[in-house]
Amino acid sequence: MHDKTLAELGRGLADKQFSAEELTRALLARIERLDPQLNSFISVTGELALSQAKAADARRAAGESGALLGLPIAHKDLFCTQGIRTSCGSKMLDNFKAPYDASVVARLAAAGTVTLGKTNMDEFAMGSGNESSYYGPVKNPWNPAHVPGGSSGGSAAAVAARLLPAATGTDTGGSIRQPAALTNLTGLKPTYGRVSRWGMIAYASSLDQGGPLARTAEDCALLLQGMAGFDDKDSTSVDQPVPDYRASLNDSLEGLRIGLPKEYFGAGLDPRIADRVMAAVEELKKLGASVKEISLPNMQHAIPAYYVIAPAEASSNLSRFDGVRFGYRCENPSNLEDLYKRSRGEGFGAEVKRRIMVGAYALSAGYYDAYYLQAQKIRRLIKNDFIAAFKDVDLILGPTTPNPAWKIGAKGDDPVAAYLEDIYTITANLAGLPGISMPGGFVDGLPVGVQLLAPYFQEARLLNVAHRYQQVSDWHQQTPAGY
């Protein structure tokens, strides 16, 4: 059963080939056996999963037939789950049990999904390799010496290793798409505001967005259907109807106009990845698409703008973790100042401290205009570049990452080198656009991804193109050795 996609499992449940409880027990056993070598889970919720599976079976027996009913998933460990540890990969929240469910968790639970556990992640979603977690790095199932990407690396590794068919992730600067690319998965970052952020512990509030990680575009469509929609508890949620994402999966690509930004194919891109991307372009052309070169002239400023805006918002969001109300608290503080300093100093890891310091500096009275305000102006220019480009093309295509997965620890002494791995993904977050990464082949036995970006709320188009590509390619069907 572990070899089946989410959609295939749904059909198996509908046809009574197996029950949700049987499926859940099989996957829990697989997680117990294989996850110790990956470290992809922080918490495995066996009792909850079995109770949800039995409830799903009862609902099916009563005549229900929901598309997600009885299907097993896991949540990135920054989605609040009532009564279950929600750690954000940090010592700061190691003892925190959320008193409520995040909207995404509640919606998927109402649809009948079975929660197998909470997946490992970079601490407070800050990282590109899933190396900054308090619970240790996640291993890439394609090569355990290499990172799976971050910050949703636990979700990606678990799905890639067939421990479960799909999982939720979050994307602040590429944290769904980048690990999808590095583990041979399909990962979708929806339009900002399409998926509720309520109950999703914030890193950078104007950039964060939840989305699905799965093996196929069809599975991502299935999971997004249950996640998306307006939420009056989230002030950034957009009140716009949610289409049937699976209805248009097989639409023709005839006449589709694809733009290739010349800035994506310059220095810094592994030429072997460029070859894989262009091979995907040729397949899409055979399916009826046309291709033209475009320009995104302000892309060169994306990394510095992002690494001012995101840490600035993080420094504000993480100020709530002070040792007073919840989370880690230092022992025997001598006074309030000592409580604050030691609780934060002991509770946060090195990468989180680095970004808090950068953000606080950028927001300080003497430097706000010089750094934060200028970064926001660049953000607007990047958005304008996309608006102009989408007047001439329907989608923008390129590599998801400039390199394949690097070895664990290889970039530990050079955080900027890790930041540069996000060069192709962060612009979508700065502009609020939807993007998808789909498997595009392998380099040195490691997966690489092809990224597609679309205008606002065009997730259905992204899923359609990725699905049609996956009908004529088999990269997404490849499985890591031993799994």
Domain extent listing, the chain = 6-255+394-477, 300-376
Contacts of 269 (CB under 8 A, 6+ apart): 399, 402
pTM: 0.96
Average pLDDT score over residue span 80-96: 96
pLDDT in tens, 259-303: 999 999 988 899 999 999 999 999 999 999 999 999 999 999 999
Q: What is the pLDDT of residue 177?
A: 98
Q: What is the pLDDT of residue 260?
A: 97
pLDDT band at 357 (very low <50, low <70, confident <90, very high): very high
Q: What is the pLDDT of residue 57?
A: 97
Share of the chain above pLDDT 70, in %: 100
Contact 335, 323 (CB under 8 A): no
**How far, in Å, CA of 350 to CA of 333, rounded?**
22
Dihedrals φ, ψ of 167, to 5°? -155, 160
Contact 9, 53 (CB under 8 A): no
For the domain 6-255+394-477, what is the CATH code? 3.90.1300.10
Share of the chain above pLDDT 90, in %: 95
Nearest to 435 by CA among 136, 232, 234, 209: 209
Contacts of 332 (CB under 8 A, 6+ apart): none
Residues acting as catalytic residues: 76, 151, 175
Q: Strand 210-214 and strand 166-170: pairing? A: antiparallel
In terms of Cβ atoms closer than 10 Å to its own Cβ (0-12, 13-18, 19+), residue 396 is: buried
Residue of higher predicted confidence among 220 and 150: 220
Nearest to 183 by CA among 481, 482, 480: 480
